[in-house]
A = this chain, B = another copy of it.
Amino acid sequence: MSTGFFGDIKKIEYEGPESTNPLAYRFYNPDEIVAGKRLEDHLRFAVAYWHSFAWPGGDPFGGQTFERPWFGETMENARLKADVAFEMFSLLGAPFYCFHDADVRPEASTFAESAARLDEIADYFAEKQKKTGIKLLWGTANLFSNRRFMSGAATNPDPDVFAYAAATVKKCIDVTKRLKGENYVLWGGREGYETLLNTDLKREQEQAGRFLSLVVDYKHRIGFKGTILIEPKPQEPTKHQYDYDVATVYGFLKKFGLENEVKVNIEQGHAILAGHSFEHELALANALGIFGSIDMNRNDYQSGWDTDQFPNNVPEMALAYYQVLQGGGFKTGGTNFDAKLRRQSLDPQDLLIAHIGGMDCCARGLKAAARMIEDKALSGPLEERYAGWKSAEGKAMLAGKRTLEEIAERVVKKKIEPQPKSGRQELLENIVNRYV
C-alpha cells in the first residue's frame, strides 16, 4: 500500500531520448546490453537514505525547508520514512540503497537502546528488501553528527569515544551483514583536526590505523564478505581530514598493511575539494589497485564547500565511467547518489526528478564511455604514444636491468638527443566529443 507521498506517480519507465516526460528515463534502460552487460548491472545505482529522507534542507545560514510527514524523532516516523524510501526506490527502479545508522532510527539515550532501535528498523528493511528485491549497497555508521564525536571518533583524544565509535561500527557491520550489504563504508568526517595546536597528528593516525585494523579483523571473524571501503575527503567539516584523497588513503593503508583489505569509495565532490578531477581519483585508485565504489554527485566549481548536487554534465560523466570501465567496472561497488536536492526543491516530485536526471546522465555517460573503449578511441593513441617502451632497452630499463651508470653511458655513447612529439591533447578532446 502506497503512503501517498508521491501522489499517483507510477514507476518511472524508459521512453527514449526523444521523450519530454520529466518523469521518464531518456537514457537509462536497465535491460539494455552495453559492452556485454545489462546497463543496470553496470551502473548499480543506489539511493542515499540520508540526503533524500533525513536531511531537512538546512544550510549554515538557514534551517529546515522541507516538510516531510516523517520528520520527528519517533520509531513510527522512522517506519514511515522507510515506507516512503522503499516506495521511491521502487518507483525509480533503483536496485540498491545505502544508509547510516543515524538516518534510519532516532538516537536513544543509551547506546544499547539506540542499537535495539537499529535492529528493529533492520528487520523492517529486511522485509522490504525481500518484498521489493531492492538490495543494500552499503551500510555505514554516522560518527560525526553527535556532539560526542565533535573531536573525532577513532581519532578522539578520549579513548572512550574511540570505544564508543568501535561499538557503533561493530553494530553497523552486524546490521549490514544481516541485510546482505555488499560493502561497508567508513567516512571519517571528524577524523581530522581543526587546529594543529591541539592535535597530536602522529598519535591520531595510529588510532585511526588501529581502528581500521579492528574493523578488518572483525569482518573476517564474522565472515562478512562485503568490501570495506574508505571514503576520502580533504576537509569539511574539519579543516583537515586524514583521508584527504585517494593517494593519502593509499599511503595510510600501506602504513598499516591494509592495502589488500580495504578499497576506496570515491566521491566526485570530494575529489574536486581535494584539487583533483573525479577521473583523476578514479584513475589513481585503479592504478593503485584500490578502486571500490563511487559516490556520484557534482560540486559547484565556484563554491568552496561540498555542494552534493545531482550530476548533470554528461561529458564529465563519460570521462568518469571511462575510468570505471577501464578498471573492469564495479565488483561489489556501485553508483551511489550521494547527492541532495537543492534546499529550494520542496516538492516530492523534485526527489524523483533529481534522481531521474542523475541516472539518465550516468547512463548516457557510461554508454559513451563504452563506445570509446570499444572503438579504442583513446587507448589506441595511448598505446602508440608509449610504444617506445616496448623496445628492448625500454623494457630493460623499466625492469631494473640497467644501472644509472649504464643508462648514462648509453646516452653519451649513442648521443641520445630526444625529440619531443606532439601530445595531441586537442585532437583527443575532439575525439571524446564525438561520443558525448
Contacts and interface: CB of A to CB of B under 8 A. Distances in A.
Interface stretch (A82-90, A122-130, A214-222): A214-222
Interface stretch (A1-9, A70-78, A177-185, A388-396): A388-396
Nearest to A393: B159
B344 A433 contact: no
A198 B423 contact: yes
Interface string A60-98: 111111000000000000000000000000000000000
A221 B255 CA distance: 28
Given A170-B405, A218-B403, A424-B345, A159 B22 contact: no
A350 B404 CA distance: 36
Given A235-B302, A356-B430, A385-B157, A197 B62 contact: no
B343 A150 contact: yes
B111 A412 contact: yes
Interface string A305-344: 1100010111110010001000000000000000001111
18 contacts: A63-B146, A148-B418, A157-B388, A159-B391, A163-B397, A194-B423, A196-B277, A196-B319, A197-B378, A210-B398, A239-B303, A244-B245, A247-B251, A251-B288, A275-B302, A313-B315, A342-B426, A354-B426
A111 B341 contact: no
Given A62-B237, A147-B63, A198 B381 contact: yes
B198 A425 contact: yes
A213 B397 CA distance: 11
B344 A194 contact: yes
A160 B418 contact: yes
Contacts of A280: 196, 240
B391 A218 contact: no
A65 B161 CA distance: 15
A194 B426 CA distance: 11
A426 B60 contact: no
Contacts of A394: 159, 162
B342 A275 contact: no
Closest 7 CB pairs of A and B: A304-B304, A251-B251, A344-B423, A159-B394, A167-B408, A202-B287, A357-B430
Given A162-B394, A350-B424, A353-B427, 9 more contacts: A62-B147, A159-B397, A159-B398, A163-B411, A164-B411, A170-B408, A171-B408, A312-B433, A347-B424
A160 B421 CA distance: 12
Nearest to A410: B163
Interface in A242-275: 244-245, 247-248, 250-252, 254-255, 272-275
Contacts of A312: 315, 429-430, 432-433
Nearest to A171: B408
B65 A150 contact: yes
B215 A404 contact: yes
A327 to B, nearest CB: 10
Contact of A344 (B150, B286, B301, B350): B150
Nearest to A289: B202
B425 A194 contact: yes
A360 interface: yes
B434 A26 contact: yes
Contacts of A378: 197
Contact of A416 (B160, B302, B412): B160
A36 interface: no
A289 B163 CA distance: 28
A356 B434 CA distance: 13
B429 A111 contact: no
